[in-house]
Structure 1
Amino acid sequence: MLCKYLEEKPSIVVAFSGGVDSTFLVAVASVVSRRVMALTVRSPYIATWEIDEAVDLTKVLKLEHRILEAEIPETIKYNPSDRCYLCKHEIFSKIKVIAEREKYDVVCDGSNFDDLGDYRPGMRALKELEIESPLLNCQVTKAEIRAWSKKLELETWDKPPYACLLTRIPYDTLVEPEALKMIEKSEAFVIGLGIRAIRVRKHGDLARVEVDEKEMHKMLKPEIMSQISETLKSFGFNYVTLDLSGYKMGSFNDTLEKE
């Protein structure tokens, strides 16, 4: 069904983060569509290593690749609860301009069928801008994407989910580039220790570390805890804590539910 859907789109621009979903989508599109471009956004709230991985993936997949440089939009500088809507509306408006100028037929994103069950205000922006979501429209789930990615030998098949760094900061908080760098360096350090599913949420001068329950045992080794604490403090945090509830996607959304 997905292949047939994409075959009907002669030329496609895929918003490409280098994650599981967009990598699978662009890989399939590159086979069944006549003309495909992967477009990656580079901004202060996207981890540098994610951009680097996206660049490397496009080389492996032999894709046409473009990078869109973007600053922190004025509309989201205080991290409002609808930041995803505001950000996606601005970014995808720019992507559409590029697509139209380069004479591509459609702009697609990697939203999948499971995304309907999460708080994702950005999907409203996609609908307003007529951005297509082939994986969602064809009811492709995350589990199916991972399974098919493995069969296609895509290195992202088991990549943990990742999101923009704005999700590490409480809502209604000034977004400071220095804070984003602290978070990015902290997560990169922990990932470098072999703990892949990680979030470092910033509460002022306190780092609240979330880790997937499957990897919690790695964090509980005294030498690892000491190493992480000392390193994150060297990045600028005064306090480093481990969230005993483990990793939860969009954990700051809980604060919205309580309002």
Structure 2
Amino acid sequence: MSVPAALHAALIAPPTLTIALSGGIDSLTLSAAAAEVRGRHAVTLCHAVSPAVPAAATARAQQFARDRDLTLRTIDAGEFADASYRANPVNRCYFCKNNLYGSLSKLGDHVAAGTNLDDLSDFRPGLMAAEEHGVLHPFVAAQMTKDDVRALARKLGLGDLAELPAAPCLASRIETGLRVEPADLAVIDAVEERLRKALGNVTLRCRRMQAGWLIELDAAVHDAMTQSQQGEVLALAKDLIPAHGKIGLRAYKRGSAFVHG
């Protein structure tokens, strides 16, 4: 059996199950595991379409469901109508997830998310919203880390998806305190897509900061570049950045747009 016994038990227990499918590796793997354990007609996938969700993630979720003949619902979670979310406070993620899980709970099923053990060691206000809405965390119940999830993805035949870099929502690229604007999110998504096509499937971020725009690349990739190559990266991004916007380039630093109090 591809699915570990503890995860199998967590996935088979609910009488009904909807997976919150972001399009990232955790929720994709959870969806594949749930389909194997419960059967493809006994699990529903639900993907929230939003300016904060990369277009590639939405396309990935849709292709995944088609390839496996799984039921996929798309919804608007409504976070952009929430003034608290748009203000981008330190706990912005709480308001995002509160809207998402509130919308999913109306579907009537038990809702599960792809949270793994590693996520519990990070500052994730969204987990509070998950608890308030009774969201299940099967990977946590099965004591699975991110590495465990990737290993399971390979066993389940997810191929290259198993190597997807972590990719939080686009709003995480906007510095805390700057209002979340759809236009900025569209720039971020366009820049990252262009750079990913040029550089491959590497960790990268386009950030909207108080001081301007910032491109961050995987440290090993960044440090191996010549000044000329770094200039080429900036040139690729520059014409997508709003006029007169300052733009810089540096090595990736996790959570650098997040201001801690």
TM-score (norm 2): 0.89
Task: Specify which of 28, 37, 55 is matched with residue 32 of structure 1.
Answer: 37
Which runs of no fewer than 5 residues in structure 1 stay unpaired?
Answer: none
The CA distance in 1 between the partners of 2:222 and 2:51, in whole Å, is 29
Task: Specify which of 54, 66, 70 is matched with residue 63 of structure 1.
Answer: 70
Q: What is aligned with 2:166?
A: 161
After TM superposition, the structure 1 = structure 2 runs for residues 63-212 of structure 1, keeping only pairs within 5 Å, are: 63-71=70-78, 72=80, 73-98=82-107, 100=108, 104=109, 106-155=110-159, 156-195=161-200, 196-204=202-210, 206-212=212-218
Ranges of 4+ aligned residues in structure 1 off by more than 4 Å = none
Contact kept, 8 Å, 1:88 with 1:126, in 2: the verdict is yes
Question: What CA deviation, in whole Å up to 9, does each residue of 1:153-189 have, x standing for no partner?
Answer: 2031100000111111111111111111111111111
Q: What is aligned with 2:3?
A: none
Aligned-residue offset at 1:57: 1.1
The CA distance in 1 between the partners of 2:254 and 2:142, in whole Å, is 24
Mean alpha-carbon deviation: is it higher for 197-206 or for 118-127? 197-206
Contact kept, 8 Å, 1:12 with 1:33, in 2: the verdict is no
Contact kept, 8 Å, 1:76 with 1:87, in 2: the verdict is yes
Which runs of no fewer than 5 residues in structure 2 stay unpaired?
Answer: 1-5
Q: Which amino acid aligns with 1:198?
A: L
Q: What is aligned with 1:241?
A: 248
Aligned-residue offset at 1:9: 2.2
Q: Secondary structure at the match of 1:132?
A: coil
Aligned-residue offset at 1:222: 4.5
Q: Which amino acid aligns with 2:128?
A: R
Aligned-residue offset at 1:126: 0.4
Task: Specify which of 228, 232, 238 is matched with residue 233 of structure 2.
Answer: 228
Contact kept, 8 Å, 2:77 with 2:99, in 1: the verdict is no
Aligned-residue offset at 1:204: 4.6
Identity %, equivalent residues = 28
Aligned-residue offset at 1:68: 0.6
> How many residue pairs are counted as aligned between the two chains?
248
Q: Secondary structure at the match of 1:123?
A: helix
Contact kept, 8 Å, 1:233 with 1:239, in 2: the verdict is no
Contact kept, 8 Å, 1:10 with 1:33, in 2: the verdict is no
Aligned-residue offset at 1:200: 1.0
Aligned-residue offset at 1:223: 4.8
Task: Specify which of 32, 42, 46 is matched with residue 49 of structure 2.
Answer: 42
